[in-house]
């Protein structure tokens, strides 16, 4: 019996030793089902120390805390127990079922991995109203609000979205990070600079709060119906009070992370009325003045003058076309130069746009420039209005007369001519006697010209074969052809911008037009669809590399910002070179 007892004790000790020496590395989560507004804790535990710990990528979660490392050692009945833990606090990015992939670590030269864990994220859940819960306190004392100026605008009517962060005096914000930016699909958008904004005092739900304006955006809806404005989301680190006090009686604070969102906003865009819509209406909405002016009204033929067609006021100045001028054919007209002097603030676009035509008369005379009309939709009266210019008379003082005038002058002069009187010697100039002599007859056959023309085609055959092979070789060089085509396109679209180097505003306007025209030609999209998100998606579909897309969008952003910031010619040259290189790369990579 004693022998059996000793055997049993030995077996127990042996099994215990084996179990104690076995390596364990596992992942544990605080919960496997949670709401999108809750937090998840995950611990990676090991019973032996290791190296090269590699956590999962947490691609569907935002790490709001960690990694926190803890180590514990204990001895029980002479047996050592060791535990090392890496802890992370996660916030889900969206609803759905996600898998937290494996973590790995190296222990005694062996690599160990955890088991993947499935996490189910549901819609937001109600957080218990526990005044001692830091998460509840954070939720009740910090709010992100999107204030929309008009929820039911007309098509192409300006509205503003102002994002304000309200913070109660009971809590303190340490910092915040933008985790989700709104995308303004189906809107023309312009973000207004809010740098230097100061914290202001205000009220929220009848209570005193401090607030900060984070972002101001002006939007012009480009389609009718219900349009969605996506929310702005922030991850905020803040300190909230606890029910504990220090030795001096002051309330102790604890730090928490809170995700706040401005929420979705739905805008119901009304179509412009059909009643009374002019046939020449091009989409102008706002309050405008219309001018047509000529730089001179008296000049000589082959001199030039400038005809300027301009609109100024408040409205969607960048989103409609100016009316075209109709002039007599005897006036030589060049393509207009489009100029924009537009500022955007919370009231929308303000300023002026114009088309300047260079006109050269060819003949002497008086030329009327007929009245030009411009129509727009007036938001104040909700009716269409038409503005018309006065007729302008261009008097060309000196120069040749037109063909019609010459014919008219000849007709007048012929009236005063006398009739011609014929005499009997009217055919005296005709010779009636000749002295013909024979000439030597020559033959083309076997002449030098004959032999040259005979053998020339045979001599041209090797040259034709050489040229054909060169062409076939060039056509087969797909990559080289792409490079040549891309460089040609870059030069074509950027030629006007290069001419404007040194003149900041003219350069960046020409550069922006060049980039837009290239996209319209390459991606077959209209100007109204040229949003950054649309461009990004279309270029991704064309298999253009992300770095090239990023460079292209950065150039567009530079064009928007450069008009309001000081820029030297070196920076302009760099932007020009970058644009040419990026256009070339897109044309080579796009499928």
For residues 79-104, b (16+ Cβ closer than 10 Å) or e, as one string? eeeeebebbbbbbbbeeeebebeebb
Tens digit of each residue's pLDDT (9 = 90 or more) over 527-564: 556 677 778 888 888 788 888 888 888 888 777 776 55
pLDDT at residue 490 in the model: 58
Report the alpha-carbon distance of residue 372 to residue 553 in Å, rounded: 38
Confidence at residue 298, expressed as pLDDT on a 0 to 100 scale: 92
The phi and psi torsions of 478 (rounded to 5 degrees) equal: -60, -45
Q: Do domains 285-396 and 478-589 have the same CATH topology?
A: no
User: 428 is written with which tokens?
Assistant: 């005296």
User: Can you give the pLDDT at residue 432?
Assistant: 63
pLDDT at 18: 47
Q: What is the pLDDT of residue 403?
A: 57
Can you give the pLDDT at residue 130? Answer: 63
Q: Which two tokens stand for residue 155?
A: 């098509």
Q: What is the pLDDT of residue 350?
A: 94
Phi/psi at 156 (nearest 5 deg)?
70, 20
Residue bearing tokens 């999962």: 56
Burial class of residue 240, CB neighbours in 10 A (0-12, 13-18, 19+): buried
- Torsional class of 405: left (φ above 0), alpha (ψ -120 to 50), beta (otherwise): alpha
Over residues 421-447, the pLDDT tens digits come to 444 554 555 666 666 666 655 566 777
532 phi/psi in degrees, rounded to 5:
-65, -40
DSSP state letters, 311-373: EEEEE-GGGS-PPPP---TTEEEPPPEEEEEEEEETTEEEEEEEEEEEEEE-SSEEEEE---E
| 392 contacts 369 by C-beta, under 8 angstroms | yes
Give residue 434's region: left, alpha or beta (phi > 0; psi -120 to 50).
beta
What kind and span of H or E run contains 474? helix 448-476
- Written as six digits, the tokens of 382 are 């909700």
Which tokens go with 471? 């062409």
**In terms of residues, how long is the chain?**
591
Architecture of domain 2-122: Sandwich (2.60)
pLDDT at residue number 4: 53
Q: Domain 285-396, what architecture? A: Sandwich (2.60)
The residue ranges of every structural domain in the chain are 2-122, 134-269, 285-396, 478-589
Q: Which residue do the tokens 């010619």 mark?
A: 569
Q: What integer pLDDT is reported at residue 406 of this predicted model?
A: 40
Task: Tell me which residues of the chain have a pLDDT lower than 50.
Answer: 3, 13-20, 404-423, 426
Of the candidates 262, 235, 260, 93, the residue with the CA atom closest to the CA atom of residue 178: 235
Distances (CA, A) of 188 to 159, 265, 324, 513, 534: 11, 16, 25, 16, 12
pLDDT score for 407: 33
Q: 225-229 and 265-269 as β-strands: parallel, antiparallel, unpaired? A: antiparallel
Q: How far is CA 481 from the centre of its chain?
A: 28
Structure tokens at 407: 């014919």
Which of 1.20.120, 3.30.410, 2.40.50, 1.10.10 is the CATH number of 478-589? 1.20.120
Element (H, E) at 266: strand 265-269
């Amino acid at each position: 019996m004693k022998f059996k007892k000793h055997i049993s004790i030995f077996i127990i000790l042996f099994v215990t030793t084996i179990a104690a020496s076995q390596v364990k590395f596992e992942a544990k989560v605080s919960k496997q089902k949670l709401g999108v507004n809750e937090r998840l804790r995950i611990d990676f535990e090991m019973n032996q120390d290791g190296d090269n710990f590699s956590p999962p990528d947490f691609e569907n979660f935002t790490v709001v805390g960690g990694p926190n490392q803890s180590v514990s050692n204990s001895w029980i009945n002479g047996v050592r127990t060791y535990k090392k833990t890496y802890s992370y606090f996660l916030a889900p990015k969206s609803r759905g079922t996600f898998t937290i992939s494996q973590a790995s670590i190296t222990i005694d030269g062996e690599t160990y991995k955890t088991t993947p864990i499935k996490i189910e994220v549901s819609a937001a859940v109600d957080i218990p109203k526990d005044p001692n819960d830091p998460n509840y306190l954070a939720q009740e004392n910090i709010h992100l609000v999107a204030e929309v100026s008009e929820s039911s605008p007309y098509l192409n009517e300006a509205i503003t979205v102002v994002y304000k962060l309200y913070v109660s005096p009971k809590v303190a914000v340490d910092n915040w990070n933008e985790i989700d930016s709104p995308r303004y699909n189906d809107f023309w958008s312009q973000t207004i600079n809010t740098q230097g904004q100061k914290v202001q005092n205000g009220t929220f739900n009848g209570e005193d709060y401090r607030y900060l304006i984070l972002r101001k955006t002006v939007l012009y809806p480009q389609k009718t119906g219900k349009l969605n404005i996506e929310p702005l989301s922030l991850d905020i680190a803040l300190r909230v009070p606890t029910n504990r006090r220090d030795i001096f009686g002051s309330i102790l604070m604890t730090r928490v992370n809170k995700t706040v969102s401005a929420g979705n906003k739905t805008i119901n865009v009304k179509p412009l009325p059909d009643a009374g819509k002019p046939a020449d209406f091009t989409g102008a909405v706002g309050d405008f003045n219309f001018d047509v002016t000529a730089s001179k009204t008296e000049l000589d033929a082959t001199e030039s003058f400038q005809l300027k067609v301009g609109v100024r006021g408040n409205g969607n100045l960048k989103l409609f076309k100016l009316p075209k001028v109709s002039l007599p054919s005897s006036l030589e007209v060049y393509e207009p130069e489009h100029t924009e002097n537009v500022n955007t603030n919370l009231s929308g676009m303000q300023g002026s746009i114009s088309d300047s035509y260079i006109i050269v008369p060819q003949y002497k005379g008086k030329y009327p420039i007929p009245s030009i009309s411009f129509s727009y939709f007036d938001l104040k009266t909700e009716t269409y209005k038409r503005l018309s210019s006065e007729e302008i008379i261009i008097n060309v003082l000196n120069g040749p007369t037109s063909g019609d005038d010459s014919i008219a002058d000849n007709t007048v002069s012929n009236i005063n001519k006398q009739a011609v009187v014929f005499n009997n010697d009217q055919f005296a100039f005709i010779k009636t006697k000749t002295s013909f002599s024979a000439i030597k007859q020559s033959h083309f056959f076997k002449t030098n010209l004959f032999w040259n023309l005979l053998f020339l085609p045979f001599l041209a055959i090797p040259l034709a074969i050489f040229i054909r092979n060169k062409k076939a070789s060039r056509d087969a060089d797909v990559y080289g052809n792409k490079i040549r085509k891309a460089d040609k396109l870059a030069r074509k679209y950027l030629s006007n911008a290069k001419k404007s180097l040194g003149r900041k505003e003219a350069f960046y306007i020409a550069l922006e037009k060049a980039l837009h025209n290239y996209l319209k030609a390459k991606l077959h999209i209209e100007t109204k669809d040229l949003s950054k998100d649309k461009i990004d998606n279309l270029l991704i579909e064309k298999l253009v590399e992300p770095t090239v897309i990023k460079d292209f969008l950065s150039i567009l952003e530079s064009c928007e910002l450069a008009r309001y910031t000081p820029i030297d010619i070196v920076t302009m040259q760099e932007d020009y070179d970058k644009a040419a290189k990026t256009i070339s790369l897109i044309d080579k990579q796009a499928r």
